[in-house]
Amino acid sequence: MRCAICPGSFDPFTLGHLDIVRRTSRLFDRVIVAVMANSEKHNLFSPEERARMIRNATADVPNVEVIAYDGLLSQLCRETGAAAIVKGVRGTQDLEHERMMAVVNHKLTGGEAETLLLFSEPEHLHISSTVVREYLKYGLDCGELLPPEVAGDPALLLKTGRGERR
């Protein structure tokens, strides 16, 4: 059984991320979407909130499972026996960063896991979690950037001021 990991901070999970996960699910038997920590970023949503949003957004893809993992990606690859790490790239900036991470992860897995890069669809090139967080901060509607399950998540609605406060 060929297993791939789609790792990311997913803060939150966008339509661009969903497209990459769907395309990966056609190439592998098992796809693990791993919500992880990026030490360069401060997160708006908790790992549990992010994992819930992704679970709801990918509920119709049978070979996808979602976890929150607070460790090294290479360690997760070893634990799951994943043959590939799959990431999306929108342009040269993403590419340069992912190239560096791919080399590190290849080394740390002893060559067991390869990184595969999928090019984002043109309609997703302007979408990023950073843009979504900026929209949320200024109260803009980010419905066009997100799967409906994410846009309607209680934790996200709370950030827009449209959710129930307890």
Q: Can you give the binding site for ligand PNS, defined by CB under 6 A?
A: 7-9, 36-38, 41, 72-74, 104
Tokens of 165: 């406060």
Nearer residue to ligand PNS within complex by CB, 74 or 120: 74
Nearest approach, Cβ of 97 to ligand PNS (angstroms)? 7
Active site residue 17: yes
Nearer residue to ligand PNS within complex by CB, 41 or 162: 41
Nearer residue to ligand PNS within complex by CB, 27 or 100: 100
Active-site entry in 41, 97, 137, 162 = 41
**What's 37's DSSP letter?**
-
- Sheet with 64-68: strands ordered across: 64-68, 30-35, 3-8, 84-89, 114-119
Active site residue 128: no
**What's 44's DSSP letter?**
S
Nearest approach, Cβ of 8 to ligand PNS (angstroms)? 3
Q: Is 28 exposed, middle or buried (0-12, 13-18, 19+ CB in 10 A)?
A: buried
Distances 84 to 62, 64, 134, 140 between C-alpha atoms, Å: 19, 14, 32, 36
Nearer residue to ligand PNS within complex by CB, 38 or 162: 38
Active site residue 78: no
Choose among 131, 143, 135: nearest CA to 159. Answer: 135
Active site residue 90: yes
Active-site entry in 25, 74, 120, 129 = 129
Nearest approach, Cβ of 165 to ligand PNS (angstroms)? 29
Point out the residues that are catalytic.
17, 41, 90, 129
